[in-house]
C-alpha cells in the first residue's frame, strides 16, 4: 500500500524492516527476558546510517526530518518496541540540540549522534515532576564559567547507555517555568552517576535509569539557548518527538495484528479456521481500520511538523493519543484472538501488549495530551468567534 512516500523514504522503510526481520526478530525474546541493552542491534543500525535519518546533512545526517524518524521507529517497533527505543530515545535526546543548539554545539555533538557512535537521552522527569513538567527541582547554580548541578532525574530512557544528555534543570528559584533551562551533560562528567536500573513491565529491551547529579560541573557553553527557556525547549521538543511515539505505537499494533491474522488463518476450532467466524472477522476488521487511521494521522502530523508550521502541539498530541490508544486496543484484541496461547510468553502478542502500554504514558500521559488538545480547540474557537 502506498502512503505517498518518496523513493528515499521507501528505501528507508525497507531497510528498517529488513533490520527488524533479520537482526531484531531472532533476539527480541532474549532481550525482553534479560532486560539488557541491545548494543549489537545499535551497531547494526549505526552501520546502516539509521541514526542520522532526521539530522541535517551538514551535521553528518541523512537530511530528513520527523517523517523519516517516524518511518524508522514504526518499522523497528513492528518487531520490538523496546529495542526500537535505542533509536527513538536517542532522537528525543538530540532534538533539543537540533532546535536550540548553537552552530558550534551542533557541530560538536550531532555528527557523533548521526553516526550512532554516541547515543543521546533526554532528562526531564523527576519524582515530583512528571505530568507537571514545571515542577523540576534539579538545580544548576552558575559558578564562574560552570554550572554546578545537584538533583536526580527519574525513568530516563537510554540512561546509563547514552553518552550525551540534554537535561532540563532549574537555574532560578521561585520563578516557575521561567526559571528552567537546559544543559548538555556528557556521560563522563565528574559528579554525574546513574541510579537504579528499572525493572519494567514492557519495553524491557530498553534501559531506563536514574540520572544522579552531585556537585556536577558543566561548562557554561553547554547551555542550550538562553537561561529560562528550558520549559519552552521541553515542550517544543515533545511537539517534534510525539509523532515518533505515535509511530512506535502504530508499529507495535501492526506487529500484533500480523500475528493475530496469521493465527486466525491457521488455528482451527469446530473443524474450521477461527478466521472464518464472524466474531473474529469483525475483530480483525476493526483492528485493521484502527491501524490505518492511526498511521494516516501519524504521517500527516509528521509532514505538518516538517513543513515548518508553528502551531503543531495539538496535532502532535492527537497523533500520540490516538495511535497509543489504538496500540493498546489492538494488542489486547490480538491476545484475545490467540486465546490461551496469546497469554503465554512463547507467543509475541503478550509482549506487544506489555510494550504498548507505555506509549499511553511517556512523553506526556494521554490525559495530559487531551488537555493540550482541548486547550487548543477552545483557543481556536475563540479566535474564530472574534473574527466573525
Residue 29 CB coordination number (10 Å): 15
**CATH code of the domain in which 83 resides:** 1.10.540.10
Beta strands at 208-219 and 192-197: parallel, antiparallel or unpaired: antiparallel
Average pLDDT of the chain to the nearest whole number: 97
Question: What pLDDT, on the 0 to 100 scale, is given for residue 232?
Answer: 96
User: Are 247 and 290 in a shared domain?
Assistant: yes
Handedness of CA 299, 23, 328, 245 (dihedral sign): negative
Question: What is the rounded distance in angstroms from the CA atom of residue 24 to the CA atom of residue 50?
Answer: 14
**CATH code of the domain in which 304 resides:** 1.20.140.10
Question: What is the rounded distance in angstroms from the CA atom of residue 279 to the CA atom of residue 183?
Answer: 54
User: Are 70 and 134 in a shared domain?
Assistant: no
Q: H helices of 307-365, where?
A: 313-338, 349-357
Q: Which three cell numbers stand for residue 296?
A: 494516516
Tell which of 98, 119, 140 closes a domain: 119
User: Are 72 and 166 in a shared domain?
Assistant: no
User: Are 84 and 183 in a shared domain?
Assistant: no
User: Are 299 and 382 in a shared domain?
Assistant: yes
Confidence of residue 315 (pLDDT cuts 50, 70, 90): very high
Q: Calculate the CA dihedral of residues 254, 258, 264, 266 and round it to 10 degrees.
A: -170
1 found inside a domain: no
230 close to 174: Cβ distance less than 8 angstroms:
no
Number of H-type helices and E-type strands within the chain: 11, 9
Question: What is the rounded distance in angstroms from the CA atom of residue 231 to the CA atom of residue 180?
Answer: 6
What does pTM read for this prediction?
0.97
- pLDDT, tens only, 224-280: 999 999 999 999 999 999 999 999 999 999 999 999 999 999 999 999 999 999 999
State yes or no: pLDDT of 124 exceeds 80.
Answer: yes
- pLDDT, tens only, 339-359: 999 999 999 999 999 999 999
43 found inside a domain: yes
287 CB-contact burial (10 Å; exposed 0-12 / middle 13-18 / buried 19+):
buried
Tell which of 90, 119, 148 closes a domain: 119
**Alpha carbon 229 to chain centroid, angstroms:** 22
User: Are 89 and 127 in a shared domain?
Assistant: no
Question: What is the rounded distance in angstroms from the CA atom of residue 226 to the CA atom of residue 224?
Answer: 6
User: Are 284 and 378 in a shared domain?
Assistant: yes
Tell me the chain's radius of gyration from C-alpha atoms.
21
Question: What is the rounded distance in angstroms from the CA atom of residue 382 to the CA atom of residue 85?
Answer: 39
Question: What pLDDT, on the 0 to 100 scale, is given for residue 334?
Answer: 98
Question: What pLDDT, on the 0 to 100 scale, is given for residue 350?
Answer: 98
Q: Calculate the CA dihedral of residues 28, 34, 35, 40 and round it to 10 degrees.
A: -60
- pLDDT, tens only, 201-212: 999 999 999 999
64 found inside a domain: yes
230 close to 176: Cβ distance less than 8 angstroms:
no
User: Are 216 and 327 in a shared domain?
Assistant: no
Question: What pLDDT, on the 0 to 100 scale, is given for residue 181?
Answer: 97
Pick the closest to residue 314 from 388, 359, 379 (CA basis). 379
Confidence of residue 173 (pLDDT cuts 50, 70, 90): confident
Pick the closest to residue 80 from 341, 355, 360, 298 (CA basis). 355
- What end-to-end distance do the CA atoms of the chain give, in Å? 42
Query: 327: helix, coil or strand?
Result: helix
Domain residue limits at 30: 7-119
Provide the annotated active-site residues. 363
Please give the tally of structural domains in the chain: 3
β-sheet bridge partners, residue 167: 123, 183
User: Are 114 and 130 in a shared domain?
Assistant: no
Tell which of 229, 262, 283 closes a domain: 229
2 found inside a domain: no
Amino acid at each position: 500500500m502506498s502512503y505517498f512516500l518518496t523513493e528515499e523514504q521507501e528505501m528507508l522503510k525497507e531497510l528498517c524492516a529488513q533490520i527488524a526481520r533479520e537482526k531484531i526478530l531472532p533476539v527480541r525474546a532474549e532481550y525482553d527476558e534479560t532486560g539488557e541493552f541491545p548494543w549489537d542491534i545499535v551497531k547494526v543500525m549505526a552501520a546502516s546510517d539509521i541514526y542520522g535519518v532526521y539530522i541535517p546533512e551538514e551535521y553528518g545526517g541523512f537530511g530528513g526530518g520527523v517523517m523519516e524518524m517516524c518511518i524508522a521507529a514504526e518499522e523497528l517497533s513492528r518487531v520490538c518496541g523496546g529495542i526500537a527505543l535505542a533509536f527513538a530515545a536517542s532522537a528525543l535526546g538530540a532534538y533539543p540540540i537540533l532546535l536550540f543548539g548553537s552552530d558550534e554545539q551542533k557541530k560538536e555533538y550531532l555528527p557523533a549522534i548521526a553516526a550512532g557512535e554516541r547515543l543521546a537521552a533526554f532528562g526531564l522527569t523527576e519524582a515530583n515532576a512528571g505530568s507537571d513538567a514545571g515542577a523540576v527541582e534539579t538545580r544548576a547554580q552558575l559558578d564562574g564559567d560552570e554550572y554546578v548541578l545537584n538533583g536526580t532525574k527519574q525513568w530516563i530512557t537510554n540512561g546509563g547507555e547514552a553518552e550525551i544528555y540534554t537535561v532540563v534543570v532549574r537555574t532560578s528559584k521561585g520563578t516557575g517555568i521561567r526559571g528552567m533551562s537546559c544543559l548538555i551533560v556528557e556521560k563522563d562528567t565528574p559528579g554525574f552517576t546513574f541510579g537504579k536500573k528499572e525493572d519494567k513491565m514492557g519495553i524491557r529491551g530498553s534501559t531506563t535509569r536514574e540520572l544522579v547529579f552531585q556537585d556536577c560541573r558543566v561548562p557554561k557553553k553547554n547551555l542550550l539557548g538562553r537561561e529560562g527557556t528550558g520549559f519552552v525547549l521541553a515542550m517544543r521538543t515533545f511537539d517534534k518527538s510525539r509523532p515518533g511515539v505515535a509511530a512506535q505505537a502504530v508499529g507495535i499494533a501492526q506487529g500484533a495484528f500480523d500475528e493475530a491474522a496469521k493465527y486466525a488463518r491457521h488455528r482451527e476450532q469446530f473443524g474450521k479456521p477461527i478466521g472464518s467466524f464472524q466474531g473474529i472477522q469483525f475483530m480483525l476488521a476493526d483492528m485493521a481500520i484502527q491501524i490505518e487511521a492511526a498511521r494516516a494521522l501519524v504521517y500527516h502530523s509528521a509532514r505538518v511538523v516538517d513543513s515548518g508550521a508553528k502551531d503543531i502541539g495539538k496535532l502532535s498530541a492527537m497523533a500520540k493519543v490516538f495511535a497509543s490508544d489504538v496500540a493498546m486496543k489492538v494488542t489486547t484484541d490480538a491476545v484475545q484472538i490467540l486465546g490461551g496461547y496469546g497469554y503465554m510468553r512463547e507467543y509475541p502478542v503478550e509482549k506487544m501488549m506489555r510494550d504498548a502500554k507505555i506509549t499511553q504514558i511517556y512523553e506526556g500521559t494521554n490525559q495530559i495530551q487531551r488537555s493540550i488538545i482541548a486547550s487548543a480547540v477552545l483557543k481556536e474557537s475563540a479566535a474564530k468567534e472574534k473574527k466573525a
